[in-house]
A and B are shown apart, each in its own frame.
Chain A
Amino acid sequence: MKDFIGLRAIRGAGYTLLLLLEALGYINHAWKRRRALFTQMHVIGTQSLAITCFFMLLVGMVFALQTGIEFARFGQTSLVGLVIVSAMVRELGPWMTAFVLIARVGSSMAAEIGTMKTSEEIDALEVMSINPVSFVVMPRLIGYAIMGPILTIFGTLVGVAGGALVANVQLGVPLDDFLRFAERGAEPLDIYWGLLKSLVFSLCAGAVACANGMRTSGGAVGVGRASRNTVVVALTLTVFLNYLLTSFYRMVKRLVAGIL
């Protein structure tokens, strides 16, 4: 019973949730720890910008090409703009950015905290009466939560641009047509919803990474395990959450449409 895998997962989930809440409770230390926070925002955000943009550019291009092939069968290639914008803003933007961040930031965050744990740095902080959640976890989590949505904005814009490029060059859709339909692809509520999703993904992935780091034991092997678990759990969690959130959003939209 002690090693029952479900029990371990539940314990891990509980710890992650508590850690997330505790870290958010230390948000008032953010000003005192602004240097650490800015460092993290730089590492998580600025340094991930190029890879995120490159990734999203290609996602947008492939997406435009694929949908363009289908639309061409019906002679509706100019609709590509609409599909790309709606998909990018609501789904692909937040989601793919979250993927890039989990792979690039989440894994390294877990490894970094895990190494601190195994080299007694976390213990040392505790002995110095410096709460490790405030000192280590909070700046990373808040930095993640701030930079996730910002990167999503960049990623989405670049993704749409990639789609426009392919639509224009390979599908022969004039830019005017593309933009005309693109405007109808998303309303302001969709944009906010996309950003909210990104915030949720960022908090989840950040909490999973920090929790795995803080629970590391057993030297180098343990650090590797923490990093691996982070990627697996965070990816699974975001995919699952994305489905739930999208279903919920669709329900709300229909409800609102019914009232109006």
Chain B
Amino acid sequence: MQTEESSTEALIDSTPMVEFAGVCKSLGNRKILDQLTFNVKRGETFVIIGYSGTGKSVTLRNLIGLMRPDEGSIRVAGEEITTMSNKELEVMRRKFGVLFQSGALIAWLDLFQNVELPLLEHTKMSRRKRTEIVQQKLELVNLWQDKDKFPAEISGGMKKRAGLARAIALDPELVLYDEPSSGLDPVIAYEIDKLINRLRDQLKMTQIVVTHDMESAYTIASRIGMFYQGGMLQIGTPDEIRTSEIEEVQHFITGGREGAVSRRSTTAIMKGRSPTFSARLEAGRGVEAAEPSGDAAPTIMELEPESSPIDPENKP
């Protein structure tokens, strides 16, 4: 009896909360997601790191259903969301909480009303019950004393905390964060990180965090996935990532101080260590083909060995 119960529990626990399988998405002529495949287990905090402007946010938007992938499958709690109708998607999204980069609070509602909004829209709770929940969530992010303020009157960090309170108002199973620490000073960024950890430990929420703040990634991650050229270059625990032998990963996590990447060594590394990437190279959609273009795209591929980005000769 006991063992049976625990085994079913283990089974439920082992179904991934989020499964990306072979997801492709192009915007214009640019292939943003290229055979993106990864799983997020229940109850873990999965951190996606990677260069700015390469499609981390696009990954999130596909997961929320704000964008639909061109190919591939995205499953949330075992349910395929790429083929859902808008109605089904609306129901599905109630399992989600999303913290947007700027908090995305509704400007004409004060903090209390902002956090109350999902409760008002989706539940038939009494006013007292709602107040209770709003108070609980706002106290969690330490903003209860500012409940009457409007978004325009508070700082960026407060907006993010209020956005977080709103995201978890309906106790979602899955919380997504788009750059939770960008634009914040280190102290407040650490406060947010502590909140994210508290949500994982106390409320057992599954969380996906997109960031390029490595400090924060190490603090909160159960696992880290390095997003690179439309796919996951490496997925591992923070320690595995920190000691990664892949040049691009080292280059990224050390802020370009180590792991200088040249075109040749990249190809070598990909051929030798990353089967997906070598397969792609052989299929003729290699580094060059998948290289994103655009102003925010990483430029590391262009560097010759030994040259540095501040080399005056390298300037355009």
* A and B are interacting partners: yes
**Smallest beta-carbon distance A165→chain B, Å:** 40
The closest CB in chain B to the CB of A112 belongs to B107
* B107 proximity list for chain A (CB < 8 A): 115-116, 121
A116-B107, A121-B105 are known contacts. Are A129 and B66 too (CB-CB below 8 A)?
no
- Interface 1/0s, chain B 21-56, versus A by CB < 8 A? 000000000000000000000000000000000000
> Which one of A39, A116, A119 has the highest number of Cβ atoms from chain B below 10 Å of its Cβ?
A119
What is the bound-complex CA distance between A130 and B170, given in angstroms?
13
Q: Are A120 and B121 in contact (CB under 8 A)?
A: no
Q: Are B104 and A124 in contact (CB under 8 A)?
A: yes
- Interface 1/0s, chain B 197-221, versus A by CB < 8 A? 0000000000000000000000000
Q: Are A121 and B90 in contact (CB under 8 A)?
A: no
What is the bound-complex CA distance between A123 and B166, given in angstroms?
14
What is the bound-complex CA distance between A110 and B117, given in angstroms?
23
Q: Are A120 and B108 in contact (CB under 8 A)?
A: no
The closest CB in chain A to the CB of B121 belongs to A130
Interface residues of A, count at CB 8 A = 14
Partner of A123, one of B66, B90, B106, B121: B66
Interface residues of B, count at CB 8 A = 22
Q: Are A126 and B104 in contact (CB under 8 A)?
A: no
Partner of A127, one of B91, B98, B101: B98
- Chain A binding surface, main DSSP class: helix
- Interface 1/0s, chain A 114-142, versus B by CB < 8 A? 01100111011111111000000000000
Q: Are A123 and B93 in contact (CB under 8 A)?
A: no
The closest CB in chain B to the CB of A118 belongs to B102
Q: Are B122 and A119 in contact (CB under 8 A)?
A: no
* A129 proximity list for chain B (CB < 8 A): 90-91, 93-94, 121-122
What is the bound-complex CA distance between A119 and B102, given in angstroms?
7
> Which one of A39, A115, A129 has the highest number of Cβ atoms from chain B below 10 Å of its Cβ?
A129
> Which one of A116, A120, A124 has the highest number of Cβ atoms from chain B below 10 Å of its Cβ?
A124
A119-B102, A120-B100, A130-B117 are known contacts. Are A39 and B108 too (CB-CB below 8 A)?
yes
Partner of B100, one of A39, A115, A124, A130: A124
- Residue B112 CB within 8 A of the other chain: no
What is the bound-complex CA distance between A127 and B64, given in angstroms?
7
A39-B108, A128-B93, A129-B90 are known contacts. Are A123 and B117 too (CB-CB below 8 A)?
no
- Residue B118 CB within 8 A of the other chain: yes
* A127 proximity list for chain B (CB < 8 A): 64, 66, 93, 96, 98
**Smallest beta-carbon distance B64→chain A, Å:** 5
6 closest pairs, A vs B, by CB? Answer: A124-B104, A120-B104, A129-B90, A120-B100, A127-B98, A129-B93
Besides the known contacts A116-B107, A123-B66, A126-B93, 15 further A-B residue pairs in the complex with CB atoms under 8 A apart: A39-B108, A116-B106, A120-B101, A120-B104, A121-B105, A121-B107, A123-B104, A124-B104, A124-B106, A124-B163, A127-B98, A128-B117, A128-B166, A129-B91, A130-B121
